[in-house]
Amino acid sequence: MLPEIGQFALALALALALVQGVVPLAGAARHHVAWMSSARYAAFAQFLMVAIAYGCLTAAFINNDFSVQYVAGNSNTLLPLYYRITAVWGGHEGSLLLWVLMLAGWGVAVATFSRNLPLDMAARVLGVLGLVSVGFLSFMIFTSNPFVRLFPAPVEGYDLNPMLQDPGMIYHPPLLYMGYVGFSVAFAFAIAALLSGRLDAAWARWSRPWTTIAWVSLTCGIGLGSWWAYYELGWGGWWFWDPVENASFMPWLTGTALIHSLAVTEKRGTFRNWTVMLAIITFGLTLLGAFLVRSGVITSVHAFATDPERGVFILAFFAVTIGLSLALYAWRAPQVGLGGRFAAWSRETMLLLNNILLVIAAAVVLLGTIYPLAMDALGAGKISVGPPYFDSVFAPLMLPLAALIAIGPLVRWKQDQPVRTWQRTRLAVIAAAAAGAVWPLFYANWSPLVSLGLFVALWIVLAIGLELQERTRFAPTALASLKPAYLGMHVAHLGLALLMIGVAMVKGYEVEKDVRLSPGETVEVAGYAFTFRGTIPQRGPNYMADRGTVEVARGGTPVTTLYPEKRTYASKRGMPMTKASLDRGVLRDLYASLGDPLDKGAWVIRIYYKPYISWLWAGCILMALGGLLAASDRRYRVAVPGKQAAGAMALGRT
């Protein structure tokens, strides 16, 4: 019964989304107040329906209702309760339902916090969100219904993929989807602005906190995914340039550009067309990501089972949405003025360069991700683009970007002198260059690239330190009086600096070794002695495991003991699964995982030494915190009626 209620709720949600997509937009066009006001109610009602559907699917998982095909395919009676709840998004259909739930949730958030927005603006934003919902809800109902029944119902489920039976599964997908879907809000604001012709500073101010929160979620989602892959997959890598990682990384890059370009639009009224374009591109890239993951065109850890019909649907949705948006853009954008002028050396120029670099970076990733698919589709043979391509192209793009982060905040809006900027930052440059050159000397061999990476990262840190010193002398009261938006910027930039230090050190000095070890044998990696003590069999709730013991010592003194496992899951998949064991530290991680058993108790064992790898995730956390701080700034919540009216007038509404 419950699955049918869920099914019915989904159909109702689609109808409500249609109402939300059509009525308010028509109302805004015809200045019909009641029609415009309906947007909020439709958004709430749609969310309620999707939440009911989501609850029904979750109940089916909790009750082990294997008559529902999706439950039978992704759960099992032996699966612990919390994984049964998270298994809802363990496959294509359920994760799409989560996606739609998030989208409806963003709609409710906009409806709740848009009280100080003009009614027509709120109606248009919610209307566009409704239309996006229509797209995803029809995709789910017509190609990937999670409530399809199975008859006769199997006694036992097929089980959740063992790789997904991990706490990472609880946080990674919801946060990632929050981010992905959040950019629909930025997109909705952009389209609403184009429709109304009100493309001004006020619009940018309304749009900024939403965009920032979406960016924060995406940052957390990607960071968590990387952290999960690092310990879960037993490969010890943190980024693989896998097409699906790229699918989330591309909107992150353009989303980062969008945040910065929105800042210019809000402060100076410049870059308006470009900002709208970025919002459209970012949303387009999230749709492209959905296509890559859900159409089965790629070979990846993340890819769901193949179904060409789904691919065609998303591609059509993508073409229609982006086609219409670009047509609207082409029609409306020329009427938008250019905004304030600025000199060649100014904050605007710095942010323009930031945008150019980020968009080029996204384009480079797009080329590497799409090219093999395009060649395959054209029948030109199967090819793949290796990680070395991305690595070799990314470093030359990211180093100047980092230098811009150090300089940018020091340069004045509108006009400044390079000499003045140099005077403000020369101390930081010299100190960072010296420290960057010396730091790698503590490691195996001095490498210019690592040194360069450390130099720009330290430059950012020191530049922020000098700036805060100048402004506050680090007095607590002065620090507390800084605006959250300003502080948030520095915290996020500091996060990126930490991340860069982590990347430079890991890339430069990590040691990876696959060795054959018999019980009692020792191998030395980066000054640490790893001694294998053999394996013993162990039983888990729904798996059997060989649990190895690896003792680690340095200079004769014990450091830690690692317990890597090789698991075989009891459900009928009988799938082996490597569980790595880590000793985490601020300056290094030690990592051991079991490969294959050999004769006489010997195993192939993979041992890693990863310097500074935790800085990567610390950096992600700081970036997210910075974003949260920035979004919490009071000025986003206070309406400035006089300014809005002036802005709208200046633009010359059509």
Tell me which residues touch another protein (CB under 8 A). 161, 163, 234, 299-301, 303, 305, 344, 360, 364, 367-368, 371, 381-386, 388-389, 392-393, 396, 514-516, 573, 575-578, 593, 595-596, 598-599, 604, 606
- Is the CB of 55 or the CB of 540 nearer to another protein? 540
Radius of gyration of the chain (CA): 26
- Is the CB of 76 or the CB of 614 nearer to another protein? 76
Distance separating alpha carbons of residues 647 and 372, to the nearest angstrom: 46
- Is the CB of 322 or the CB of 604 nearer to another protein? 604
Q: What is the secondary structure of 61-78 as a DSSP string?
A: HHTT-TTBHHHHHH--TT
| Omega of the bond leading into 476 within 30 degrees of 0 (cis) | no
Nearest-approach distance from CB 392 to another protein, in angstroms: 5
Q: 322, 280 in Cβ contact below 8 A? A: yes
Helix (H) or strand (E) holding 529: strand 528-539
Q: 10, 137 in Cβ contact below 8 A? A: yes
Q: 98, 90 in Cβ contact below 8 A? A: no
- Is the CB of 8 or the CB of 563 nearer to another protein? 563
**Residue whose entry in the numeric block shows the structure tokens 């989602």:** 221
DSSP state of 482: S
- Is the CB of 105 or the CB of 576 nearer to another protein? 576
Nearest-approach distance from CB 106 to another protein, in angstroms: 31
* Joined tokens for residue 261: 């370009």
Nearest-approach distance from CB 578 to another protein, in angstroms: 6
- 3-class DSSP state of 524: strand
Nearest-approach distance from CB 437 to another protein, in angstroms: 26
Non-local (6+) Cβ contacts of 320 within 8 A are none
Nearest-approach distance from CB 364 to another protein, in angstroms: 6
Distance separating alpha carbons of residues 586 and 349, to the nearest angstrom: 37
The H-assigned helical ranges of 270-335 are 272-294, 308-332
Q: 68, 147 in Cβ contact below 8 A? A: yes
- Is the CB of 129 or the CB of 361 nearer to another protein? 361
Nearest-approach distance from CB 603 to another protein, in angstroms: 10
Nearest-approach distance from CB 389 to another protein, in angstroms: 4
Q: What phi, psi does 545 have (nearest 5°)?
A: -140, 150
Q: 361, 292 in Cβ contact below 8 A? A: no
Nearest-approach distance from CB 363 to another protein, in angstroms: 9
- Is the CB of 161 or the CB of 632 nearer to another protein? 161
Q: Are strands 543-554 and 565-569 parallel, antiparallel or unpaired?
A: antiparallel
- Is the CB of 160 or the CB of 204 nearer to another protein? 160
